[in-house]
Amino acid sequence: MAESRLTAEGTHQGAFTTLDWGLLLGPAVIWGSSFFFIEIGLRAFEPMVITGLRVLFGFLALSFIPSARVPVDRRDLPRIALLGFTWMAFPLSMFSISEQWIASSVAGMLNAAMPLFTAIVATFLLRRAPGRNQMLGLGVGFVGVILISLPTIGDGSSSALGVGLVLAAIAFYAVSINLAIPIQQKYGSIPMFWRMQAFALVMLAPFSLASVPSSHFEWPSLLCCIALGALGTGLAFVLAGNLAGRVGASRASIITYLMPPLSILLGVAFLDETLAVLAAVGTPIVLVGAWLTSRADRAPRVAPIIDGELSVCEEPTTSKRR
């Protein structure tokens, strides 16, 4: 068996174990499907209705986890409320709005750029960089993301706006993970996300309710919103947080690299979306980046990188509350 080195924070830097791969693939499948669910949701609901329902069902899912109700110091609530906007209300709305103009598969593929955005933010704000292998993997993966994006950007102003909204959402995710680190270290991931969603619900309520008259009811759309919330904004965060605690946030961020293939498959197979040649070339490049990022470094470093449609939390902590 290959030796697995442990960092001071308790994470291992060796090759992924079976459990690590399970924790990786779970969120990757859930978040990779989320763009497909949004597209089905848009057939009946306005974008802000989808976002409101998504956060609602995510909040309800986490409410069944006892640790979500760990007491939080009142002085930390303003930061959690800010995260409710930057990590939940704003970026989730941007994803729903953007898919009015771009294909679900393109939104999913663009999302793979998230680790690079967060690495840039972390480098400037925390002066910490990923290890050599992780940095190489991020760079290779981003080349693939560029190739995937080019055909959509050339489709016109509306498509370009959709791409811009996704990139704006990713930028907010990148900032959020750095803001979230002290709170997550103090209380753990689940209590933080649960309260973030509660604040986001309050922020979204006026916009979601105002959009209800322009929507109509269809069961497939509702079921997709339930899946978006309970799985994508609930369970996936728990799994990704556990993975980050085991292998470090930099390597957990490869979840976002495994999402594009599923986004492509669902979009082409069930939504009649077209896979451009550049996207077909870029996707395996993204997967190579994911493989490189999962490899062990000779000298482990700490770098907070966000995971997937949303994200992984910080580099593992010593918090006693979980």
pLDDT value of position 8: 46
- The confidence score (pLDDT) of residue 304 equals 40
pLDDT grade for 250, boundaries at 50, 70 and 90: low
Q: Which residue has the higher pLDDT, 6 or 126?
A: 126
For residues 38 and 220, the answer to whether their CB atoms sit within 8 Å is no
Instruction: Identify any residues that bridge with 12 across adjacent strands, giving them in sequence order.
Output: 6
Mean pLDDT of 92-121: 85
Residues in the chain: 322
Q: Look up the pTM and report it.
A: 0.81
Q: What is the pLDDT of residue 2?
A: 44
Residue 210 has pLDDT above 90, yes or no: yes
C-alpha distances in angstroms, 284 versus 124, 180, 288, 307, 310?
A: 30, 32, 6, 19, 22
Query: Any bridge partners for residue 6, and if so which?
Result: 12
Classify residue 219 as exposed, middle or buried by CB count within 10 Å of its CB (0-12, 13-18, 19+). Answer: exposed
Q: What is the pLDDT of residue 202?
A: 97
Closest CA relative to residue 270, chosen from 128, 105, 114: 105
* pLDDT of 159 higher than 60: yes
Name the band, by pLDDT with cuts 50, 70 and 90, for residue 13: low
Higher per-residue pLDDT: 127 or 173: 173
List the one residue out of 81, 113, 79 whose CA is nearest residue 181: 79
pLDDT band at 7; cut points 50, 70, 90 = low
Q: Indicate if the pLDDT at residue 44 is higher than 90.
A: yes
Lowest mean pLDDT, pick from 211-220, 292-301, 305-314: 305-314
